[in-house]
Structure formats: structure tokens, C-alpha cells
Amino acid sequence: MSSPLAILDRDGVINFDSDAFIKSPDEWLPIPGSLEAIARLHQAGWRVVVASNQSGIGRGLMDEDALEAIHRRMEQAVTAAGGHFDGIYYCPHHPDEGCKCRKPLPGLLEAIATHFDMSLENVPVIGDSARDLEAADAAGANPVLVLTGNGQKTRAGLPGDSTIPVYADLSAAVDNLLAADQ
């Protein structure tokens, strides 16, 4: 059996989000506990992948080189904490471009499933926004909400009978995944 897979949104889950977009490595600031949570998943044998909308590229706020520099900083921080990413997937398109990879559409998640040659059934997709949860649902994965980033606002918009698990932050969500994995 292959290692379990977890898919994480970036902004608002791993690092603090910004209404002005994260456009440089200096603006990328990890949420306390997130790097260690990723390390715990990795050390427990999980594959960890990022799936993130990065429309700052399509909006002309940054280029691919700037995004790569941000991701290098993120990867270095995760490595320093003892973790590892098995992939970073992102949608660079402007919301008006009509692409299939921008969440809430499932294109990014489907690309991950294809890359790892697996179904996303029972794969947790941890996000802070409704579009993360909708993409997970559309791809047949398990949506998980964290209350960091846009999570409080997202939780307020969930129907009263929602069965989506909600956690304070990535660290608490990982604690739950690892406890269920025992």
C-alpha cells in the first residue's frame, strides 16, 4: 500500500494570507505550528502536497520567478523543521480566464491524482476557504477546514448540517489525521 497523501492549501493554511497577495519571499510568513505539522505528517510517512490558487501571476502582481522564490523559501522552512513537500501545484490564472485548474474547480486536485496515479477518495484536502472545500468535494476527496486565514468566515457560511471537520489550525488537523492513522 502506498503512503497516505494530504493536500494542503497554501495561503491561510501554511502561511498568513494577505488581501494584497503574497508577492515576494519576504511576505511569506508561516502560521505558528504549520511547519512542524507538515514535518509530523512527513515523518509519519505521509506524502504532503500543496494545491494553491496563485492568481497574482495572472493579475500581473508577480511573475513565475517570484512565485518560485516564495516556494523555495517555504520549502526551505519546511525542510528546516524536518518536513518535505512531495509536490507544489498552483493555478497561475486570473479568475476571469476560465481555466479548469482554479479552485473551486477540481483541476489542480485531478492533476495531483494523475501524478500520483491514485484516487483522491479519503484524501484530506485542508483549506481555509469555501473554494478549497468545494474543489475537494468535486474531486472526490475529503474537505477539511481550518480556522486560520479565511476559515472563520468560511465556517460561518457552512450549512448547519455540514459534516466537514473543522480544526483551529493545520497543527490540530494534522494531530487528528495522525491519531486516526494509528
Q: pLDDT by residue (tens digit) across 4-17?
A: 999 999 999 999 99
What is the distance between the alpha carbons of residues 5 and 7, in angstroms, rounded to a whole number?
A: 7
Read off φ and ψ for residue 48, nearest 5 degrees.
-120, 125
Q: Domain spans of the chain?
A: 5-147
> Would you identify the CATH topology of the domain 5-147?
Rossmann fold (3.40.50)
Write down the catalytic residue from 11, 17, 132, 169. 11
pLDDT category, 181, cuts 50, 70, 90? confident
- What mean pLDDT value characterizes the chain? 96
Q: Identify whether 19 is a catalytic site residue.
A: no
Catalytic site includes residue 11:
yes
* pLDDT band, residue 1 (cuts 50/70/90): low
The catalytic residue among 9, 17, 132, 169 is 9
CA distance 38 to 96: 32
